[in-house]
Amino acid sequence: MTDLGAKDGTSGAADPPDVDGLRAALVAEMRGEVAFDVTARALTTMDASNYRRVPLGVVRPRDAADVAAALSVCRAHGVPVVPRGGGTSIAGQATGTGVVLDLTRHMNRIVALDPEARTAVVQPGVVLDRLQEAAAPHGLRFGPDPSTHSRCTLGGMIGNNSCGSHSVAWGTTADSVRELSVVKGNGSVVRLGQSWQGAPDGLRTLVEGELARLRTGFPQLPRRISGYALDALLPEKGADVARSFCGSEGTLGVLTEAVVRLVEAPRARALAVLAYADESAAAEAAAGLLPLGPLTVEGMAADLVPPDAGLPRGGAWLFVETGGVDPAEARARADAIVRAADVLDALVVTDPAGQRALWRLREDASGTATRMPDGSEAWPGWEDCAVPPARLGAYLRDFRHLLSAHDLRGTPYGHFGDGCIHVRIDFDLLTGAGIRRFRRFSEELAELVVSHGGSLSGEHGDGQARAELLPRMYGTELVGLFERAKDLWDPDDLLNPGMLVRPHRLDENLRFAVLPREPVDVAFGYPSDGGDFSAAVRRCVGVAKCRTTAADAGVMCPSFRATGEEEHSTRGRARLLHEMLAGEVVTDGWRSTEVRDALDLCLSCKGCRSDCPVGVDMATYKAEFLHHHYEGRRRPAAHCTMGRLPAWLRLVDRTGTAPLLNSLASVGPFAALGKRLGGIAPEREIPRLAQETFSRWWGRRFKERVRRMMREGAYGPEVELDASPREVAILWPDTFTEYLSPSVGQAAVRVLEAAGVDVMLPPTVVMRKRTPRAGESVSLSHHPWSVGARGHVCCGLTYVSTGQLDRARAVMRRTLDLMGVFLDPDVHPRPPAVVVLEPSCAAALRTDLPELLHDDPRAARLASAVLTFAEALERLAPGWSPPPLDRPVTGQTHCHQHAVLGDGPDRRLRAAAGLTGSLAGGCCGLAGNFGFEKGHYEVSKTCAEEQLLPAVRAATPDTLLLADGFSCRTQLEQLAGRKGRHLAEVLAEALDQGVDQGVEQGVEQGVDPEVDRGSD
């Protein structure tokens, strides 16, 4: 196993003579931040490509003057500069060995927006979606929209000449650029436009001396992105220097401001989904749809679409969007496209929510395509070749043959209407033989693309992935012309050297080369990654969906949305873990304070497990890291208090000290002392402990029921499993329900029994109901229902979230022992249902348990039996109808439910009960122990203010406030002063209101209502 203890190491890059002098000069000359620390460098070693280069440092310029100052200092020190936006480039052009200019932190303003002129003035760090939001009230939009629109920047789009799904209607980014403000390598500022405006000295002479070559040397197709767009400088094209600059990948100058064109947005849209036998058939049909004026013609193949996506039957689909002045016109145009297409099946979607769901499938493909159907890895590198649309079908057939010849696999998708194909291929980039095959395939594919009249890049630029092969597309003479143009713009070769001209080899600087070749010794099983922690970390390919700041983006990543810092995004943490494994930048392995600090603000919400297109599970990685980081070392106080919460609460229960602790917690000085000693945020209130635990209530209630049944002669002393004629469920007494909110457990028992489900607590058995024999005496001692007699089950959640994995495994194994016979396949081929009321505990049992105890088959059996409250009612009582409530609801869907469990049954149960409205997404911000830990309060509060608290404030007085998670309810009570309720409590209250009269009658007859309610 690879040792990840502290190790010595240095950067793989050759440091310039005076790094300290460089840093000092940058600090002296710039107003923005200068960061040469381990974290800043580790976060920028990679983009979304296969490549990795270690920078000397990162600067965050505040304005164009800062950019000019940085370039002047770096030129004086002979250090290259790489401008960087969202870091989503797929060809390696956003990485470098010198200084990285992070243009997203400060230079991210929309300077002006002119609706009448239909233009906007933007800084390079503006995220595309922010521009779209600003333009939308005026009925306008920016035309190009890459799938990374929620986090890519305008500067990056201009640098790569990005396109997106609407390019058949509105073209590439270059088609939308009017003027550019640029700082050249020598620090001078120029304004680029038409008629040679802003061109460097000598560029016009160069172009006018090569007119014939420029008129004939470029393929004519809509998605030709490769190389420099020198043909835009032809006199018949207006000598457009700004357009020629687009797609130069930061090699000619650093963009500081852009004037861009906006287009009119359709008032209504419809989406026609056309089904074909395979992607070649879809590709053959795409070009024929263009005369009908669609807004998009996007292709998807079946391997990238989940079976429950609701698409029409077929093996590949075209997503064809149409627009109109109203929904009827948009629908009519979509119907016309369906009629004109020769398809297996078709579907027209007009509601916006349905369209968004389908577009999400397409946008996530850049991530989902990195995993083949069998789980093996696939990578970019030949992500976006483009050919003339009419040749796309023939090209795809040849492409498939080439893949087969090299024994490679990949699923094409992308912009079929423009002849641009995206694909992730299962290259072996870990071994020498695999890398050699990667190179041979790349060379042959370049020849294939050129033979079809295509471009090596149709959207993402050449970068390191394709620049070496540009002579195959353009010839050596035209590539030589590119080099001469680069030298005129940047004579010192300061800007992003190794890209586009005089490039690095396509098979060097691969990001996988630095990772351990032997498996790292870890605690979790990582079943989806072959048990290899390095493979788990490799899952992050950098598409940066975790950097999305829109409130409706899902759960991932709440700490990034709260702080705006890359190190607090899922991608940023994955990058630090990658560098920890590499050992070059992060040199102290599991002991790294940089990795620890980045993970500190991870809420372990598990949102990335579902929202990340490649399923990065940072909560698990955090638990793994903390396990190793604190091994043999003193842990933070919060790990000893909240991390071991189940043990402390059991002790309180055994000693009967809950009233005393509640009293002390209400006294200011005692509460402050307790919080300080326990590592709890001083702003937090300590939750009150229940006077009676759920299990004690259950035991008292059950004994009364059994005594009554015995008096009536309904039960005998024999005990038998699975003999009840009713459905049986084990109700899991999780720590939060048991000690802090037993009312939730009581309500669940009430509802489940009303639905015809017999409820028991573990460890226990089911009694057989029968007619007693004559003279038979029955004692309660015959019935192993007595609570606590055989130990306490626990999911281990708090131990896992604080990285106490040895304790977690011990707790989990004891739980499996206590569940005993229920998990024995010889006794129970299928384990009985285990209903877990706390979503975080249900998620821990369903995922953490089998992944941490991957060597114990009982863990998987228990995980398979876990049901949420709503799932239990849906599966065990399918014919039951909840009481009608007819009320609006708001509140919180627990983040673990969103990420692991799913909320479909909950939504259906609420609808059946007449509860209308949707629960807020995102994360409440408390997240178990996270929001209680000292130093986390402000981030926790910011997370809650994103969606949950605004939804609660906007609710009407009659709105029910639902929150199944104890953390969510606690956050609501402490920040909003509102009491949220579990869905079980709401339904139980409605049931009780319906039987109040019957209960009163029972009391008059001497029957205990707590015993009688819900009896058999």
Q: Where in the chain are the domains?
A: 19-102, 110-199+215-264, 266-369, 533-630, 637-678, 694-706+726-767+789-877, 887-997
Q: What pLDDT, in 10s, does the model give residues 156-201?
A: 999 999 999 999 999 999 999 999 999 999 999 999 999 999 999 9
In this model, does residue 513 exceed pLDDT 80?
yes
pLDDT value at residue 1011: 39
Provide the β-strand partners of residue 113: 120
Per-residue pLDDT at 974 exceeds 90: yes
Written as six digits, the tokens of 113 are 């927006």
pLDDT band for 716, please (50, 70, 90 cuts).
very low
Give the amino acid at 949. Answer: L
Three-state secondary structure call for residue 183: strand
Tell me: pLDDT of 855 over 90. Answer: yes
CA distance 738 to 798: 15
* pLDDT cut 90: percent of the chain above it: 82
* Residue 402 confidence (pLDDT) above 90: yes
pLDDT confidence of residue 551: 63
Q: Return the sign of the alpha-carbon dihedral for residues 1004, 1007, 1009, 1012.
A: negative
Other C-beta atoms lying within 10 Å of the C-beta of residue 781: 8
Q: Is-contact 647 799, C-beta < 8 A?
A: no
Integer Cα distance of 789 and 792 in angstroms: 9
Q: What's the rounded Cα separation, in Å, for the pair 316 and 412?
A: 10
Helix (H, G, I), strand (E, B) or coil at 128: helix
Alpha-carbon dihedral of residues 437, 442, 447, 452, nearest 10 degrees?
Answer: 120
Supply 49's token pair: 């490509």
Full strand arrangement of the beta sheet holding 915-916: 915-916, 887-892, 960-963
**Model confidence at 711, in pLDDT bands (50, 70, 90)?**
confident
| Residue corresponding to tokens 């990654």 | 529
Instruction: Return the pLDDT at 16.
Output: 52
Average pLDDT over residues 89-99: 95
The Cα–Cα gap between 936 and 832 comes to 40
Alpha helices in 844-934, H assignment, sequence order: 849-852, 857-865, 869-876, 895-896, 904-912
Least confident piece of the model among 331-340, 551-560, 868-877, 907-916: 551-560
Q: pLDDT tens for residues 384-397?
A: 899 999 999 999 99
For residue 348, give the H/E element and its range. Answer: strand 345-349
pLDDT, mean of residues 727-735 = 94
DSSP SS3 for 36: coil
Which pLDDT band holds residue 766 (cuts at 50, 70, 90)?
Answer: very low
According to DSSP, the residues that pair with 271 across neighbouring strands are 321, 349
Q: Degrees (nearest 5) of the Cα angle 241, 246, 250?
A: 110
Q: Is the pLDDT score of 30 beyond 60?
A: yes
| Residues comprising the chain, all counted | 1016
Put simply, whether the predicted model's pTM sits higher than 0.85 gets the answer yes
CB 458 within 8 A of CB 412: no
pLDDT band at 725; cut points 50, 70, 90: low
Tokens of residue 418, six digits: 């423009």
pLDDT at residue 7 tops 70:
no
Q: Average pLDDT of 710-734?
A: 66
Residues linked to residue 99 through DSSP beta bridges, in sequence order: 57, 81
465: pLDDT strictly greater than 50: yes
pLDDT of residue 765: 41
Q: Which of 388-402, 613-627, 997-1011 shows the lowest per-residue confidence on average (mean pLDDT)?
A: 997-1011
Instruction: Give tens-digit pLDDT for 35-83.
Output: 999 999 999 999 999 999 999 999 999 999 999 999 999 999 999 999 9
Residue 719 pLDDT: 38
Least confident of 572-581, 718-727, 821-830: 718-727
Name which of 205-214, 641-650, 716-725, 893-902 the model is least confident about.
Answer: 716-725
Q: Which positions ≥6 away from 124 have C-beta within 8 Å?
A: 83, 85, 103, 107, 153, 154, 155, 156, 158, 255, 256, 257, 258
Looking at residue 878, what DSSP letter applies? T
**Is residue 1003 over pLDDT 50?**
no
- For CA atoms 757, 761, 762, 767, give the dihedral sign: negative
Domain 19-102, what architecture?
2-Layer Sandwich (3.30)
Closest CA to 488 of 786, 230, 305: 230
SS3 track for 925-945? CCCCCHHHECCCHHHHHHHHH
What average pLDDT does range 929-937 have in this prediction?
A: 96
434-443: per-residue pLDDT in tens?
999 999 999 9
Residue 956: partners with Cβ closer than 8 Å, 6 or more residues away: 888
Cα four-point dihedral sign 291, 297, 301, 307: negative
CA distance 512 to 534: 10
296-301 vs 254-261, strand pairing mode? unpaired
Task: Give the span between the Cα atoms of 1012 and 909, in whole angstroms.
Answer: 26
**Closest by alpha carbon to 282, among 259, 300, 268?**
300
- Residue 431's SS3 state is coil
| Alpha carbon distance 908, 133 (integer Å) | 33
Task: Give pLDDT, residue 550.
Answer: 77
Q: Which of 119, 99, 108, 7 is nearest to 56 (CA)?
A: 99
CATH code reported for the domain at 266-369: 3.30.70.2190
pLDDT for 703 equals 84
Res 684: pLDDT? 97
Return the CATH fold of 110-199+215-264: 3.30.465
Band (pLDDT 50/70/90 cuts) for residue 411 is: confident
Beta strand spans in 220-253 (E): none
Per-residue model confidence (pLDDT) at position 993: 86
pLDDT at 1012 over 80: no
How far is residue 409 CA from its own chain's centroid?
25
* The predicted structure's pLDDT at residue 775: 46
